[in-house]
Structure formats: C-alpha cells, structure tokens
Amino acid sequence: MSLWEYANPKRFMSWTAPVLPWAFGLAGLCLVTGLIWGFFFTPDDYRQGSTVKIIYLHVPSALMAINAWIMMLVASLIWLVRRHHVSALAAKAAAPVGITMTLIALMTGAIWGQPMWGTYWAWDPRLTSFLILFLFYLGYMALWAAIDDPDTAADLTSVLCMVGSVFALLSRYAVNFWNQGLHQGASLSLDKEENVADVFFQPLLLSIAGFVLLFFALVLLRTRTEIRSRRVRALQMRESRS
Amino acid sequence: MIPDLGKYAAEVGLAYAVSLVLLAAIVGLSWRQSVIQRAALDAAEARKNG
C-alpha cells in the first residue's frame, strides 16, 4: 500500500483514533516528569541562579515554534504538488499550536531577560526574527479565516507559509551567523562540548520530548476536527441543495 | 517541597504560570472544538440517514 493512502481522510480517521490517547498520555508523562524534575530536582546555575529553570519551558517551546512552521511548510508543499486535502488541513491544524509555542517562547524569554539582561526586550536578530515569525503565524491563521473557498485558502496560505519559512529559518540560525545582539548561542548542539551541563540536559531532553509529543497529539486531534468540519460543511451544502 | 528560588522566585513562578496557562488553553480549546465538531457531524449524518 502506498504511503499516500494514509492521507486519505477516511483512513486517516481510522489510524489516528487509537494513536491519539497514547500520544496524549506519553506527552503528559514526558512533560510532567521533565518539568517536575527540572523545577524541583535540579540545582541553580552559578550565574543565572534559579532562572535557569525557565530553560525547561523556553528551549522546547522555541524549538517547537520553528519546527511547527517547518511541518506546515512540508504539508503546504504536499498540498501544492499532490493536492492532498488532509495535508492542507494538517497545516491549518498546526498553526494555533505553533503560535502558542511561539508565544510561550517569547514570554518566557522576556521574563528571563529582565533579570539577566536588564531588559524584557531587545531588537536582537533572534528575538526580532521570532517576533516576525509570531506575526506570520497570525497572518497565516487570519488568511485561512478570511477565505471561504477551502481550496483557495489552502493555496494562498501555502504560499504565505513558504514566505514565512525564511523567518523560521532565520529564527533558528540567526545566533550562528549574526554575532551581535544579546541572545546567546544555541543551548543544544550536536557538538557535545557546547551543550548545557548533564544535570540540566537530562530533564531538558525529557521536556523537549513532551513538547514534541504534545504538538504531535494536538495536530492529530485538530486535523481530525478539521476533517469532521469539512464533512459537516459538505453535508449541509447537500441538504441545502435538496 | 518547593525549592528555594531566591531573589528570582517571581520571574520563575511567572514563567511557569504563563506557560502552563497557555498550554492548558490550547489543549482545552482543541478538545472543545473536537467535541463540538463531532456532535455537529453526528447530527448532520443523523439528518441525512433519516
């Protein structure tokens, strides 16, 4: 069977139904364990004091804010190339989750920034590109809401998503190629020497797993809702014609 | 049980409160929309079938 058949709405509804409770359960388990471990059982940092505990929220949410947009980009490209309705609906479903992650990253960053940098906000490359990404999320959701025809909405939002991807990538790599601004380098890297100490790293990994699983579970749930909504609309149109 | 957060207790507490409220809001809203659409689909299919 082709992979694309899983994107058939009926088949999508049937395979996601048993997966959903497991995804939410695992997300809850990882998130609760990671946050409790990080909050209650890790020491303060010698320079940041207890504000280091904000890392367990800020890093995973920032990571997911960018990855959610990348997922939307892939789904949008699939829609543009193959016209799979479920992929367009999955992109639409991911946007409110992505904007929530972006908002958490922006707010926790600002709250951490005041005691550490002496300011809630600075027009630093990473912060600014993140704010623009937030505005792109708003625009993307507004565009879906503003257009009645679902296929036209999917086409236009896909194009917007491609444009916004520039800022999603800028948000990720700004700290690497702009050596200016307040934001420090990436907290996590494949180069082990640059990573945070193990005592912070282990609960952070668990918290990241929780955010990834929660995003996955929410996108599945919301895509199922979008498919149902599309079906209700089709039935109502059929009723009004007869 | 609550760790001593020292002089940054307000900032750490606020960051956790804001994040947990936002996470609860997106989960709650998604769940509510799911329940509403499921009921709407059941009603529409019931009308169609009979």
CATH code where residue A226 lies: 1.20.120
pLDDT band at A181 (very low <50, low <70, confident <90, very high): low
Q: Which of A14-18, A40-44, A125-129 has the weakest average pLDDT?
A: A125-129
Nearest to B15 among A44, A57, A232 (CB): A57
- Does residue A11 fall inside a structural domain? no
Chain mean pLDDT for chain B: 94
- Does residue A60 fall inside a structural domain? yes
Query: In this predicted structure, what is the pLDDT of residue A5?
Result: 72
Count other Cβ atoms within 10 Å, centred on residue A191: 8
- pLDDT exceeds 90 at position A105: yes
Are B38 and A228 an interchain contact pair (Cβ–Cβ within 8 Å)?
Answer: yes
Which residues form the domain of A74? Answer: 20-181+198-241
Query: In this predicted structure, what is the pLDDT of residue A182?
Result: 64
Give me A98's structure tokens.
């992505």
Residue range A150-164: average pLDDT? 96
- Does residue A3 fall inside a structural domain? no
Which residue is closest to B42 within chain A, CA to CA? A232
Query: In this predicted structure, what is the pLDDT of residue A7?
Result: 73
Query: In this predicted structure, what is the pLDDT of residue A230?
Result: 94
Query: In this predicted structure, what is the pLDDT of residue A240?
Result: 86
CA–chain centroid gap for A218, Å, is: 10
Query: In this predicted structure, what is the pLDDT of residue A180?
Result: 62
Query: In this predicted structure, what is the pLDDT of residue A242?
Result: 75
Would the ipTM clear 0.90, i.e. be above it?
Answer: yes
Count other Cβ atoms within 10 Å, centred on residue A184: 9
pTM: 0.93
Are B27 and A218 an interchain contact pair (Cβ–Cβ within 8 Å)?
Answer: yes
Query: In this predicted structure, what is the pLDDT of residue A82?
Result: 92
Cβ-count burial of A44 within 10 angstroms (0-12 exposed, 13-18 middle, 19+ buried)?
Answer: middle
pLDDT band at A241 (very low <50, low <70, confident <90, very high): confident
Are B22 and A100 an interchain contact pair (Cβ–Cβ within 8 Å)?
Answer: yes
How many domains, in total, are found in chain A? 1
Tens of pLDDT, residue by residue over A20-55, are 999 999 999 999 999 999 999 999 888 889 999 999
Query: In this predicted structure, what is the pLDDT of residue A171?
Result: 78
- pLDDT exceeds 90 at position A222: yes
Tens of pLDDT, residue by residue over A223-233, are 999 999 999 99
- Does residue A187 fall inside a structural domain? no
Query: In this predicted structure, what is the pLDDT of residue A190?
Result: 57
CB contacts < 8 A, A to B, total 100
Q: What percent of chain A lies above the pLDDT cut of 90?
A: 73
Are B22 and A103 an interchain contact pair (Cβ–Cβ within 8 Å)?
Answer: yes
Which residue is closest to A48 within chain B, CA to CA? B8
- Does residue A147 fall inside a structural domain? yes
Which residue is closest to A41 within chain B, CA to CA? B3
Are B44 and A104 an interchain contact pair (Cβ–Cβ within 8 Å)?
Answer: no
- Does residue A13 fall inside a structural domain? no
- Does residue A14 fall inside a structural domain? no
Q: For chain B, how big is the Rg over CA atoms in Å?
A: 21
Are A232 and B37 an interchain contact pair (Cβ–Cβ within 8 Å)?
Answer: yes
Count other Cβ atoms within 10 Å, centred on residue A80: 16
Buried b (16+ CB within 10 A) or exposed e, B8-43: beebbeebbebbeebbeebbeebeebbeebeebbee
- Does residue A8 fall inside a structural domain? no
- pLDDT exceeds 80 at position A138: yes
Smallest CA–CA separation between A107 and chain B, in Å?
7
Are A104 and B31 an interchain contact pair (Cβ–Cβ within 8 Å)?
Answer: no
Interface mutation target, options A31, A57, A215, chain B, most CBs of B under 10 Å: A57
pLDDT band at A83 (very low <50, low <70, confident <90, very high): very high
Residue range A53-62: average pLDDT? 96
Which residue is closest to B23 within chain A, CA to CA? A100
Q: What percent of chain A lies above the pLDDT cut of 70?
A: 90
